[in-house]
């Protein structure tokens, strides 16, 4: 069975600074996706970034980038130039790849607070 671990329950960062959120996972699958989702107080889960396991290049979306270490089963999220609107819960998620739609396995989340 797959598991996702986020070891940082809470983090804070000053506005305009950089912060890194950690995530590790365990799986015997070779083909899978990894995601970071943001959940603000409005509760809507918003996809921040995704990574396909077969791609060696780390994904980047504007101020958000990941450090994907497949052998170490590590998938961290770096937020550059943090903004007040980045304040939210962040969830790391795993989904195996294949025909059909598979379930997400989520971590327990990291609460990020961006300080003015």
Partner 1 sequence: DAGVTQSPTHLIKTRGQQVTLRCSPKSGHDTVSWYQQALGQGPQFIFQYYEEEERQRGNFPDRFSGHQFPNYSSELNVNALLLGDSALYLCASSLWTATYNEQFFGPGTRLTVL
The residue (of 52 and 70) whose beta carbon lies closer to partner 1 is: 52
The residue (of 16 and 55) whose beta carbon lies closer to partner 1 is: 55
The residue (of 8 and 80) whose beta carbon lies closer to partner 1 is: 8
Identify the burial level of 35 via C-beta atoms within 10 angstroms of its C-beta, where 0-12 means exposed, 13-18 middle and 19 or more buried. Answer: buried
Closest distance between partner 1 and the C-beta of residue 46, in Å? 8
Q: Residue numbers of the site for partner 1 (CB under 8 A)?
A: 4, 33, 37, 42-45, 47, 50, 52, 91, 93, 95, 100-109
Closest distance between partner 1 and the C-beta of residue 78, in Å? 20
Closest distance between partner 1 and the C-beta of residue 15, in Å? 25
- Among the listed residues 21, 27, 24, the one whose alpha carbon sits nearest the alpha carbon of residue 8: 21
CA angle 106, 100, 49 (to 5 degrees): 40
Tokens representing 32? 């899978």
Rounded-to-integer distance, Cα 35 and Cα 115, Å: 25
């Amino acid at each position: 069975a797959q598991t996702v671990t986020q070891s940082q329950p809470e983090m804070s960062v000053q506005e305009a600074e950089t912060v890194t959120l950690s995530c590790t996972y365990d799986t015997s699958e070779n083909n899978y996706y990894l995601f970071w989702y943001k959940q603000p107080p409005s509760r809507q889960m918003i996809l921040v970034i995704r990574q396909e396991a077969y791609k060696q290049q780390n994904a980047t979306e504007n101020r958000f980038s990941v450090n994907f270490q497949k052998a170490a089963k590590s998938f961290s999220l770096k937020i550059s130039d943090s903004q007040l609107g980045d304040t939210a819960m962040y969830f790391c998620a795993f989904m195996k790849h294949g025909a059909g739609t598979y379930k997400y396995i989520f971590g327990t989340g990291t609460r990020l607070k961006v300080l003015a």
